Chain A
Amino acid sequence: MRLLVLGIDSAEYEILKRIENELPNLSQLTCKLERYYTTVPPITVPAWLTLFSGLNPGWFGLYDVKYRVPGTYTEFRLYNRNLVSSYRFLWDLVSESGRGVILCFVPGSTPPPHINGVVVGDFFVPDVSSLDFVYPVGARRLIAEALGAEEYIIDVPGYKRMDPRKLFSLLLRKIDLDMKIFLKLLRHVEWSLAICVLMSIDRAQHTLWKYFDKAHPRFVEDPELEAGLTQLYKRVDYWFSKLLEVVPRDTAFVLMSDHGAKPMYLRVNINEVLIREGFLKLRERPTKPLTLQDADKRGLIDWDRTTAWGWGAYVGQIWINLKGREPRGTVSREEYEDICRQVGQLLEKITSPDGTRLDNKVFYKWEIYRGTRTRYMPDITVYFHNLHYGVNTMIGLDDLYSVETEVGADDCNHGEYGIFVTSLDDLPRPRTAEEVFQVLKTIVES
């Protein structure tokens, strides 16, 4: 059976259900919309990887778009698909059976897999001139024809540098460009599986939520932007009607997201918490706020006396300074679990600035991760205040809470539920990201 997957990164169930009457085409699917519990953490990487492979993030050793370089404390590198080239994804299964595949902008697909079909790169592509942007090279002609004179947008630039209305119109235009490319490929490439993932809604939610939502603590009134999120969904709805016109009638559809979205109120300065509680030790306190990495480069962190330190932006990700794993480990294997629980219990009790108890959730590595690369995963993951609080890892801050990091404020955090619906009936309802893959696999193998 032919399968077309339309992915909307960060699409939130509550929002879609609220506006589905304004989406005449997508509502054919959203009337049956379900949610599933996504990966821990609810982040684009590893979520899309798990959704398309059925594998727990512990198999990949990935917990964010970046990963800590083994053998270092704060060096990191960016995800690239070579890290997961040993695994088989949905498109590999279809391609290896001799059937055609189209992948457009699927997060985690750069460098492109050499499948039987066409791959157009995701936001990890450095620029459109990169060889990684389109596979095979010959398919560039189709992309150029789809775009005409328009310049493709791989990703929007930083929102601090851009007028919000201009940013919004870029995000709308990106949906148009993405869908023009996808439609072109659907018309001209033999396919049995076609996946397109749109990023504009995720980017809009992070950068512009305060314009869309009157209840947001940093709400900004702007009549041109207040219905912006609905407008973006309506644009997707329009293009979905175009997809319906070009695909064969017996095509199965799936609409899905990798995680949800919710307003971010505040951030917990996680390393300041760990410093105050004696888990993270400094040789010298910085005179101004520094990133963890900068503090480390300046030799300000006393690793020989440190027990734990924190990473993350949307969730807290804590590492224990484990002997044998870390360069200057201080915690023995025998002490490890006990120290994890001490840190976990401390973070679970974090309150709001006025002392109100928060709905914090703590996950220990051994409870949630499985696979051959669990040694790379954070020892503790924390969702603060039901993911309405994010995390700031800077050091040298005066407070335990902040609104902004060094790059500015983020209006929204990710939600723990992704959306999933298929046009087919009689399929099991997936409850987890791993189960989503099983449903997708069932469809492509039918």
Chain B
Amino acid sequence: MSEPDKVPVYISKSTYERVREFISRVGGFSTVEEFVEFVLREVLSGGMEGSEISREDEEKVKERLRALGYI
């Protein structure tokens, strides 16, 4: 039964097989669908390089953690 908040997106069989092999080898995800959703979210979010917060807020926390010896 299809879920009301999802839409079908088709990928090639060869890509599907590659993803299936990848997740069975690396772990972390239990279905191809789960992994594909993650990859798309990752690309849209910018991953490590697109995830910044305000420098001012960051400096406040850095100062506190620095004083505690964590950084």
Partner of B58, one of A78, A83, A161: A78
Which residues of A have CB within 8 Å of B57? 126, 130, 132
Q: Is A203 an interface residue (CB 8 A)?
A: yes
Per-position 1/0 for B11-38, Cβ under 8 A of A: 0000000000000001110000010001
Classify the interface of chain A: helix, strand, loop or mixed.
loop
| B71 in contact with A66 (CB, 8 Å) | yes
How long is the Cα–Cα vector from A132 to B57 in the complex, in angstroms?
10
Q: Check B28–A55 contact: CB distance below 8 A.
A: yes
Given contact pairs A77-B58, A87-B38, A376-B48, A82 touches B53 in the complex (Cβ within 8 A): yes
Asked if residues A65 and B65 are in contact (CB atoms below 8 Å), the reply is yes
Bound form: Cα–Cα A83–B53 in Å: 10
Cβ-based interface call for B9 (8 A): no
Q: Say how far B42's CB is from chain A's closest CB, in angstroms.
A: 4
Shortest beta-carbon distance from A270 to chain B in Å: 16
With a cutoff of 8 Å between Cβ atoms, the chain B residues found around residue A313 in the complex are 69-71
Question: B18 to nearest A CB, angstroms?
Answer: 14
Q: Which residue of A lies closest to B26 (CB)?
A: A370
Interface string of B33-59 (1 = CB under 8 A from A): 010001101100101110111001110
Bound-state Cα–Cα, A5 to B49, Å: 32
Query: Which A residues from 143 to 166 make CB contacts under 8 A with B?
Result: 154-161
| A window 44-71: CB within 8 A of B | 54-56, 59, 61, 64-67, 70
Inside 8 A of A353's CB, which chain B residues have their CB? none
Q: Which of A172-180, A185-193, A223-231, A403-411 contacts B (4 or more CB under 8 A)?
A: A403-411
Q: Which of A67, A130, A370 contacts B27 (CB 8 A)?
A: A370
Chain A residues positioned under 8 Å from B51 (CB to CB): 80, 82-83, 85
Partner of B48, one of A61, A130, A408: A61
For chain A residues 74-103, which have a beta carbon within 8 Å of chain B?
76-78, 80, 82-83, 85-88
**Bound state CA distance, A17 and B47, in angstroms?**
41
Chain B residues whose C-beta falls within 8 Å of the C-beta of A66 in the assembled complex: 71
A262 to B51, CA, bound (A): 34
**B47, B53, B69 pick with most chain A CB within 10 angstroms:** B69
The reply to whether A56 and B28 contact each other, CB–CB distance below 8 Å, is yes
Q: Which A residues lie at the B interface, using CB under 8 A?
A: 54-56, 59, 61, 64-67, 70, 76-78, 80, 82-83, 85-88, 111, 123-127, 130, 132, 154-161, 203, 206-207, 313, 370-373, 376, 405, 407-408, 410, 434
Chain B residues with a Cβ under 8 A of chain A: 26-28, 34, 38-39, 41-42, 45, 47-49, 51-53, 56-58, 60-62, 64-71
Known: A88-B38, A407-B68. 20 other contacts (CB 8 A): A59-B28, A65-B65, A77-B58, A78-B71, A80-B58, A82-B52, A83-B47, A83-B51, A86-B45, A86-B47, A123-B64, A126-B61, A127-B60, A155-B65, A157-B64, A159-B68, A313-B70, A373-B47, A407-B69, A410-B69
